[in-house]
Structure 1
């Protein structure tokens, strides 16, 4: 893994994610970490009055770079040997530009922080981390604000055993498993076999076949709350990472219902790795 991209807004959650990325770089022998600040310049609309003061674009960029340099200075004592820490600042909306930045920097992984919020905050405010999860094809690790880096040795892969071949990005999944070489626990949460159907045993066998060589251990847990069931299992197993593959939802479902990936990102105390299908 050569490059890790760390979006930052200079918050404590962002600093915590950057420290996590440094630990990850040491484990994975990463060559470079890119600290990326996407700032948005407010552009006045003609004939529409506004009380928001306009900021000079050069001053905004200078302030962004100053923040990045300060961050580099504070993180440098933790920097692993032979790892480069590089600043990037651009006048963009983070979610809209994150995929392009990943391609431009040839990033293998995005690591960013999140602060747990209430259900109302999840519904109305959202999070940059959640927006990044939705807008990039690059694997993303979301680091909770209270999480500290521990070497990734044990991974819980939350799977639903539905259309495994169609919805499992097997190439990037295997690439990450080859990188981490973890003890792999595949977890399915259900209640009273509500989602069990005639294809479930076959789908389970398909996933076992796809993961051949990684020695997956399969677990079937009964719980009325899928998200809580995943978190409880991961904490009981002392997992270092929860792995999910977010499914694409319909337009109206996205408006009125937060996905399980989003709920996990907000509430898990264990870092969450999302790989898009």
Structure 2
């Protein structure tokens, strides 16, 4: 995760339990791109290491950062269990820096949507541009806003699943509500409840809807020299009905 969403320790554990490797569908796309780069790779918003640890397993020279120390703690624990040596640090997507340049930067799983204002979005693109070598690439994905889903699901609590934490079974649930219709942002609430129905952990954060036209405008106003977008992780042209936008920006 990135920028404004830091997650409590309990919610970080819940996130890890509900985001298994292979569940999202972006793994092959990002891992193949990183392997093909054959040079240093940076994963922004690396979270608990769903992709980042697989990069290390494949021998990719990869660094990563995330704004949530609780998420990074889980990543480091998992890496230690496997004998891996991660190079990760706590930082904000809008204002991070790095000690070296990268051939490829990744911002997977809608993490760019955590940036709610144009200034924040451009600041992130500027920071990512800064750490890429000439000719370096930035890859990121954002969902396609689906208003039929929004109309059906917003405002209703959705049960997710149960997770064990501290010897106790906790049930997770989430709810999305409109935050600002003009700004096209929405608020996501996540709660963990014990067996008595009491809330024991709670986080909330605001995300942006980012239609393709807005992302293209951001790319045009960034320092990147070129950009392209696909409708999914298979490289096909973005068209109506696609659920995800995959962007490539080139320095």
- Scaled to the shorter chain, the TM-score interval is 0.3 to 0.5
TM-score by length of 2: 0.34
Report the TM-score when normalising by structure 1.
0.32
More strand per residue: 1 or 2?
2
**Greater relative CO, 1 or 2 (CA 8 Å, sep 6+):** 1
In our comparison, the structure showing a higher alpha carbon Rg is 1
More helix by share: 1
